Amino acid sequence: NQPVGLLLTVLLSHRGQCSALAELHLLQRAHNLETYGVDPHPCKDFTGSTAFLGFTATGFVVFQGNKRIHLLKWADVNKLKFEGKTFYVIGIQKEVCHKISLCLQTQK
């Protein structure tokens, strides 16, 4: 259920390519998107703003809307803590301690 204009643009950008090559180009483009492979979990940051927490092969990613606002790599994670509904990710990056606290919304 995509708009006709989008379908036409995709069709024209892959004109003359075999289906395997067109699929390869699509996957290469998708791989470079910030949200590729991320399963976002709704949460609230320390200010109460709605955010999304995602886990990737690289580390923890925090999004507000479609924009990545924070990335903490696995190698930089120092401590994980879960108290009640609050999930803490404490990491060390370049001599500075970053503490992310997120309140995960539980599903009923």
Instruction: Report pLDDT digits (tens) over 28-78.
Output: 888 888 788 888 888 887 788 888 888 888 888 888 887 888 888 888 888
Domain layout of the chain by residue ranges: 1-32, 41-104
Higher pLDDT, 55 or 1: 55
The second-level CATH assignment, the architecture, of 41-104 is Roll (2.30)
What's the pLDDT score for residue 89? 79
Give the integer Cα–Cα distance in Å for 3 and 104.
Answer: 34
Mean pLDDT of the chain: 79
pLDDT bracket for residue 93 (50, 70, 90): low
Half-sphere CA count of 1, side-chain side, radius 13 A = 0
